[in-house]
Structure 1
């Protein structure tokens, strides 16, 4: 069997699994590929090549293109004495179709953080000890605080400064999920709940009803989510400064590492970054 026939077999097998693959060098030149779309192949190669100096073995990137999100898993190889990187490409199916679920790269998280009204490097630094505890014990970090204190922005800063910035950041706003979005979260193999290596930021707990809360917590616990991903749960205080019943339940159920975001008055004036 010649090499073209072997490549065709590999291409068909990957396509049946919903994937394609290519191997690139450090310049982004393609050595071999199973992709039929040459424009997409070129874009993927360039996207990965730009990031090779800051990603590790098995890094997973997310690339947006033409309204779709692509998951790219990158691994180095020394095939034939040359430095090549194998990139496995899959479409993140349903990612754009579900309001409240967003997959982002470190580049995108950085851009959003920098353009936000917050400059909370100090806030991120203040939760360093609970973050270390979260990593060590394999439990979620519960980041609480008053409304407007920037808990999600602190979560982004922790992600950018942490050890998992070569993997996607997935934000989930529970209060924005439709019925279809909830089914996707709890049942689909494409749900962020069933992935590995992500930083997963989940907000909107106060709006979740008892049944859905139990279902979500059960899924997170049964699949040992916090041992596979870095999980940051963010919550706004109730009027008067207390935590909601939902947040108290989740915190106790997972024995979360807990930190309180600095109050707005303690953060000083909001950043005026453009």
Structure 2
């Protein structure tokens, strides 16, 4: 069983932004969703875990290895797909993946070739193996990204906003690929898309302003919100009045009407009806609880 333990991690950038604020987290095998709005500090955490930047304070250990004192110890066990990554022009998928494999230390040519071809097949890119990665669509490029992250059989895989900008078909294809990676590794999915976490992750945490607001199982979060969520259709001009009177979690405009969800321990009256909570409701509940 792999174990990633983060204690009191702090990072402040030169511009004064505190990206990580005494953050602590413990992650075991399986898909773990790190959910938070843009600017929450998710990418800063991912870069720190990947050894791309040093924290100001705190500890990170993976299977007993100190990642801050010895960042090279984890890089052999790490697969990382950043939010944005560049590729060389006029280099095929096979050649670029082979080049990355060499950089990762896969020096035995026959086994390296076997692994490269197997990963291209796993990511459904085998038929495009001789095509330049530079010409790939966004979804194909992301699947190539996960192929390079899987080189060397890593035990810790980090994917940062992997489905941002993908169309629904490519997003589903990529998520299916992530779910196939298996339960014998730690896979951290950093995203602001609630649906991706709901569909993929057995455990999750919600992050905002450099802090972990809550962590646990999605089903437990949803259960804790049961009988405390209420909905109503209102005129959009009345939204401000409802925000002042109730704890508004979310609103959605549809055909000129505004559907609102509020949090209340007891029946709030005023025509509100109970509604079954979703993970999206949990997300907004946690975010609004500190704002």
Shorter chain as normaliser: what TM range?
0.3 to 0.5
Larger relative helix fraction: 1
- Return the TM-score normalized by structure 1: 0.38
- Return the TM-score normalized by structure 2: 0.36
